[in-house]
Amino acid sequence: MASVTAPKRYHLTTFGCQMNQHDSERMEGMLESLGWQRAESREEAGLILFNTCSIREKADQKFITHLHDAHAIKRRDPDTIIGVGGCWAQSVKEEVFVQFPFVDVAFGPGQVDRLAEFLNSDSLTAQGFFEFESFTGRLPQKREREHHAWVQISVGCNCRCSYCIVPMTRGIEASRPLDELVEEVRGLVAKGVSEVTLLGQNVNSYGRDLKDGGITTFSGLLREVDGVEGLKRLRYTSPHPKDMREDVVEAHRELKSVCEHIHLPLQAGSSKVLKAMRRTYDRERYLARVEMIRSVLPDIGLTTDIIVGFPGETEENFQETMEVVDQVGFDGAFTFIYSARRETDAAEMPDQVDHQTKVDRMQRLLPLVQRRASERAQRFIGREVEVLVEGASRTDAARLRGRSRESKVVNFDGVAEAGQIVKVTIEAATSQTLDGTQVLAGVPTV
């Protein structure tokens, strides 16, 4: 493999969750600190990178299609470097070079910095880096949105959900020191960031591994970050229902920057299925958490994750999930058809649900999720909501798009720049979006 010649250009494709988005921003920041420039297409790049996801089979299939496209480019230009990072790379390790011998470098999510080592080595042989995670949050960052930033508060996960490969790809949980996190947020705000999202596989368990005698609770972290002068909005993802305590809910009520939105993964409404998933809570405990949250924050935006077709899920079990969705009335839900992941206990469980049954259940679940979300959204009509402007609307470039504190997408008529926080009067609402008009100073609303 020939060494890279100037101008050095890279192209990065990201699959998966918010943690991967964060890791990709750090990867781009590191590359640009080394003199690389982003290419608009793979054909223009000397370095083609993929940050992969291993949570679901669909992400694997999509990535592999893109990887073969990159191979076609490498056939035309053998000097092209192909790199595969992220959770899929970590899950298969050296096997990546057996399956795809045209790949030059592979690295797990905790080894992003080793990509720089490889690029600076002029190596003639493929290299893989698969040790468990270090904090990518300490690398330079190239943010997609100047007004928003991800801040990684921990890596890894100590939960052992039977369907999840994350502990095998990201390792055991480790928290970053609080003073380091506060200093990072302070630096981001100084650069114009108004909204920060704290990231962790289970943010509620932040600090339990820290031994310095300082603040070791997630609610304590929220209070410290809220104290950063100039920070307008603070979000986090994702919490685990087993660790959602009153102190975090009280932080939502008391702290000005903490947004009125909680993402509380359900996964299933059947206690039998939840036990098989090893979620460590049952249906009643989850509903008690929801009741506790809404007793303090009745207007909170509450979203969730749901998996259908888990091994052993009967029609009766699925109906229990439908009942919980109807009872809770989520503001939105990410819904997934279960797919077996290698090296997880769920993949070896008996009574695997056939694909058509999974699809049928998903087709029945989605209308209920959307109907209840739409019903919840009607409460916003006639209200003025605070919106952080993100740019032009995706459905009408003449309009603007932003996000409310409740994490609702808002399309509206108005005059504002990305990054501004404005008031919008809501005139219509669907399960997905709110629609309205910006409140302008000196202009009366009808």
Q: Classify residue 396 by burial, with Cβ atoms within 10 Å: 0-12, 13-18, 19+.
A: exposed
Both structure tokens of 265: 């993964």
- Domains in the chain (CATH in brackets) are 9-129 (3.40.50.12160), 143-259 (3.30.750.210), 381-438 (2.40.50.140)
Residue 107 makes CB contacts below 8 A (sequence gap 6+) with 83, 84, 85, 89, 114, 115, 128, 129, 130
pLDDT of residue 2: 44
CA atoms of 344 and 164, how far apart (whole Å): 7
- pLDDT, tens digit, 9 for 90 and up, residues 43-60: 999 999 999 988 777 777
407 falls in which pLDDT band (50, 70, 90)?
very high
pLDDT of residue 4: 47
CA atoms of 203 and 347, how far apart (whole Å): 27
The whole-number average pLDDT for the span 308-318 is 99
3-state secondary structure of 347: helix
- pLDDT, tens digit, 9 for 90 and up, residues 337-376: 999 988 899 999 999 999 999 999 999 999 999 999 999 9
Both structure tokens of 263: 């993402």
pLDDT of residue 133: 55
Both structure tokens of 27: 């990867």
217 pLDDT more than 80: yes
The kind and range of the H/E element at 356 are helix 355-377
Measured at the CA of 411, the angle between CA 410 and CA 412, to 5 degrees, comes to 115
- Its pTM stands at 0.87
The whole-number average pLDDT for the span 186-198 is 96
Q: What is the distance of C-alpha 139 from the center of its chain?
A: 19
CA atoms of 402 and 422, how far apart (whole Å): 9
pLDDT of residue 179: 94
3-state secondary structure of 36: coil
pLDDT of residue 6: 53
Residue 268 makes CB contacts below 8 A (sequence gap 6+) with 274, 277, 279, 306, 307, 310, 313, 317, 320, 321
442 pLDDT more than 60: no
User: What radius of gyration do the chain's Cα atoms show?
Assistant: 23
- pLDDT, tens digit, 9 for 90 and up, residues 78-95: 999 999 998 888 888 899
Residue 271 makes CB contacts below 8 A (sequence gap 6+) with 282, 283, 284, 320
Whether 170 and 159 have beta carbons less than 8 Å apart is answered as no
244 pLDDT more than 60: yes
| Alpha-carbon separation of residue 8 from 102, 123, 301 (angstroms) | 20, 16, 44
pLDDT of residue 135: 61
Q: What is the torsional sign of CA 85, 86, 88, 93?
A: positive
- pLDDT, tens digit, 9 for 90 and up, residues 143-174: 777 899 999 999 889 999 999 988 888 888 99
132 pLDDT more than 90: no
pLDDT of residue 413: 98
Instruction: Of 31-45, 209-223, 232-246, give the lowest mean pLDDT range.
Output: 209-223
Q: Classify residue 442 by burial, with Cβ atoms within 10 Å: 0-12, 13-18, 19+.
A: exposed
pLDDT of residue 158: 93
pLDDT of residue 264: 98
Q: Which residues pair with 402 in a beta bridge?
A: 389, 410
The whole-number average pLDDT for the span 319-346 is 96
Whether 96 and 54 have beta carbons less than 8 Å apart is answered as no
Q: What average pLDDT is seen over the chain?
A: 92
Query: For 185, how many CA atoms within 13 A lie in the half-sphere containing its CB?
Result: 31
Look up residue 120 and give its amino acid.
N
pLDDT of residue 136: 55
